Amino acid sequence: MSQATRILLALVAGIALGIAAVAFDKDWALRVTGVTQPIGEAWLHGLQMVIVPLIVGLLVTGIAATAEAARAGRIAGRAVVLFVVVLWCTTLMSALVMPLLLDLWPLPEAWSVALRSALTATAPLGKVPTLADFFATIVPTNVVAAASGDAFLPLTVFTLAFAFAITRLEDAARQRLTDLFQAITDAMLVIIGWVLKLAPIGIFALAYGVGARTGAAAFGALIHYIVMVSAIGLIVLLAAYPVARFAGGVPLRRFARAVAPAQAVAISTQSSLASLPAMLKGSAEIGVAPATAGIVLPVAVAIFRATSPAMNLAVALYVAHWLGVPIGPGQLAAGIATAAITTMGSVSLPGTVSFFASVAPVAFAMGVPIEALGLLVAVETVPDLFRTVGNVTMDVAVTGVVGKRD
């Protein structure tokens, strides 16, 4: 049995047991949450404690890899520019579309209230930041204070500047620093691996409390979440077709036929890397020279994920909707910037790890509590299908654009 299956079963079992316990003896069931809730929160804190060094390490190594790719030649440099444009466009799309989807099909108020009361550790809401607050806080005055206060956008801005400064150093110094941050990242991933081995226990403990306090509303809310976040991934996937047609000059039917085998591999493996051979073949079928595709697609697989910033922001916006957190223009701007920037550092991570490492900084930047992420990671399998297929489809589309101009 895979770890993802164990995590999902732990979620279902925890919620179901919580519901059954309340039906048997409500007072006793709620007293039990006094034991299960701290266990779940301790597991969640285990993931949270590595986020700052992990994000810093991933950003430094990700920017270093991006800079190396851009220096590799004209084709690679143009591909990097196009992928950065795609990342920002998909993020802005998510910021506009996700609130509209939630307005069209909101989470039922009774479910929202019940779920809000179930997450007892969520912090009280403060003042909604304005756009002026966003610009006033985007550059940190003290990077150590930003890190200790989970102020991820200012920390990200500093790390981005630091990473680009490293790329301007001499080769030996640049390599030493890059190796150092790669080692830090690897160590953090080892710790996360240990924490994730305990995920079924932690998620079961969190899920029991949610089931005891909300009843069947928890299952309905999770289905609602899967549909909403997957919809954002589907939009990115579908957007690849007009990109290929209008920017790459590839007829829609021809592009659809060429990319279909890579999509099939992506669905079956949930891995962009495993889909690379099929993507190379599909790029050749839409007229991209093998030499060009051989440069662009490995860069895409190694550094970029077209769906990640859009879907990471969508998760944070969904949790805000779930918990009734008002999102002002300053918070939304912070979420957009954090999602678009940090995605370049998290692409090499396994799905379960990348979910928390990518979404938590966005949620922190927007002032959205992250307790719900411990439950949502258990149902990430379905949205992750849309992430992978959308990434693969957009990678081939952008390769077609680069190939047209080559």
Lowest mean pLDDT among 118-127, 221-230, 238-247, 365-374: 118-127
Residue pLDDT, tens place only, 1-25: 677 788 889 999 999 999 999 888 8
Residue pLDDT, tens place only, 318-359: 999 888 888 888 889 989 988 988 876 655 555 666 788 889
Give the confidence band of 126 by pLDDT, cuts at 50, 70, 90: very low
Give the confidence band of 134 by pLDDT, cuts at 50, 70, 90: low
The 10 Å CB-count burial string (b at 16+, else e) for 124-163 is eeeeebeeebbeebbebeebeebbeebbbbbbbbbbbebb
Copy the structure tokens of residue 107: 């989470």
Those residues with Cβ within 8 angstroms of residue 220's Cβ, 6 or more apart along the chain or in another chain = 108, 111
Q: Output the pLDDT for position 93.
A: 97
Q: Output the pLDDT for position 344.
A: 67
What is the C-alpha separation between 72 and 246, in angstroms, rounded? 27
Q: Output the pLDDT for position 140.
A: 81
Identify the helix (H) or strand (E) that includes residue 343. none
Q: Output the pLDDT for position 372.
A: 83
Q: Output the pLDDT for position 108.
A: 83
> Is residue 405 pLDDT above 70, yes or no?
no
Tokens 């006033």 -> residue: 136
Do the beta carbons of residue 176 and residue 184 sit within 8 Å?
A: no
Residue pLDDT, tens place only, 40-72: 889 988 888 888 898 888 888 888 877 777 666
Q: Output the pLDDT for position 315.
A: 96
Task: Please state the separation of Cα 194 from the chain's center in Å.
Answer: 21
> Is residue 395 pLDDT above 90, yes or no?
yes
Q: For residue 221, which of 120, 102, 122, 313 has the smallest C-alpha distance?
A: 102
